[in-house]
Chain A
Amino acid sequence: MQVGGAAAGGGDAADLRGRHRIQAELKKLEQEARFLEEELEELAKTDKVSSALQEFVTMMESKADPLLPVTTGPVNQSWDRWFEGPQDLRRCKCWFL
């Protein structure tokens, strides 16, 4: 490894630091290029968006959803627990911070 002598001063040392930094960035870029090439290859084997949508729509409509006005069964009566029981706030000893 070349190191600038004292007489050569900061110029060579700065050059060395610059070199290491650029080499590290170059390695990252080369790695990223490889990842992108892999992704391009994978994409060449990937189906269009429409292929998966039938399954997507069917799946969504097959699950019971308590927040929908109309939903498929089975129904769970615990969904209505939010309306049960006395909401007796007088007995609540909560404090405000």
Chain B
Amino acid sequence: MASVADLKEKHAAATASVNSLRERLRQRREMLLDTDVARYSKVQGRAPVSFNPTDLVCCRTLQGHSGKVYSLDWTPEKNWIVSASQDGRLIVWNALTSQKTHAIKLHCPWVMTCAFAPNGQSVACGGLDSACSIFNLNSQADRDGNMPVSRILTGHKGYVSSCQYVPDQETRLITSSGDQTCVLWDVTTGQRISIFGGEFPSGHTADVQSVSINSSNTNMFVSGSCDATVRLWDIRIASRAVRTYHGHEGDVNSVKFFPDGHRFGTGSEDGTCRLFDMRTGHQLQVYSREPDRNDNELPAVTSIAFSISGRLLFAGYSNGDCYVWDTLLAEVVLNLGNLQNSHDGRISCLGMSSDGSALCTGSWDKNLKVRTFKKRLFPFTTS
């Protein structure tokens, strides 16, 4: 049997081999990066989107949480939003009327994420309890006015950072966790169907912060991690990641599929957003803000969302800014954090309504705000 010394030598050689392969991959990728989206679009003569400061009006301010808002999600239909807060509650809002339809007190107040089921009948949440709790919104409250949990999904060995239902499947949910894995759950049985990462190679090597499921191909999802990478997974093949995307220089806090399902965006602690091509692995664009006059560290990107065409990339930052990026020209066309009726604190979460007509932002100022394009007078300008 090989001695420990022999094994250590082999280990060192294997490490060197892996590092060399990674470097070759990096160099080969760089050779294929002959342009980026912005340079290409400028050559094609595209003009940036032009906003007036009053174009994206705040049409709703949803007040009711008594703590920082950490997460929000829209229903696929209707106009409902669920939000999760430091106050240990989920609130379900009718965003159109601003009314609260449910306020759910959680057993574990340290909630980090929430999600609406595709049929709008249930909500899921998770956090420092390392579990994902499911609530059926049609349940009767108990004597104390508390809504009963209908299912608790246990198994993660670390906090649940993000959760999303598989589109059009009420019974399946994907979570990401501080235990470096993502899990696909069967909500009806509470069982883990698959674990992505963990013991297998090609899994994340640090906390996973965010997931996004491809709505064009619901077998695929991406996860963003504190290991500075994004990984693509096929839910039918848990044993290895399909692809790993390098580029960020810090924790990847937020990932979101592009509307066409062939690309995805990311937001990171390194202060940049990036756009990647899912199939080729290419980094198509970096969205990097100007350093401030004092050359301070760039504020982190906390959350991102795309408009329904993908032309706009909304990015919330740790300093309260909410930049609207022109995805094609890589220019900031508006800062929602600098307008009348902006949030008074960090924007922690963003979500687009399913028809793309409204953007909801959640903030450490305890509020949610819904923004839409100012009322159009028909007939209006079309290209």
Contact = CB atoms under 8 A, between A and B. Distances in A.
B356 to A, nearest CB: 5
B238 interface: no
B244 to A, nearest CB: 8
Contacts of A30: 14
Q: Is the interface of A mostly helix, strand, loop or mixed?
A: helix
A61 B318 CA distance: 31
Contacts of B284: 49, 53, 56
Contact of A33 (B21, B312, B375): B21
A69 B60 CA distance: 20
B63 interface: yes
Nearest to A22: B7
How many A residues touch the partner, as a band?
35 or more
B45 to A, nearest CB: 11
B383 interface: yes
A50 B56 CA distance: 33
A43 interface: yes
B107 interface: no
Contacts of B378: 75, 77
Interface stretch (B29-37, B125-133, B148-156, B218-226): B29-37
A18 B4 CA distance: 7
A15 B4 contact: yes
B373 A67 contact: yes
A39 B96 CA distance: 48
20 contacts: A19-B1, A22-B4, A23-B7, A35-B240, A57-B46, A61-B311, A64-B308, A67-B372, A69-B51, A70-B383, A71-B309, A75-B378, A79-B372, A79-B373, A82-B60, A82-B358, A82-B370, A85-B97, A87-B97, A96-B64
Interface of A: 2, 15, 18-19, 22-23, 25-26, 28-33, 35-37, 39-40, 43-44, 46-50, 52-53, 56-57, 59-61, 63-73, 75-83, 85, 87, 89, 92, 94-97
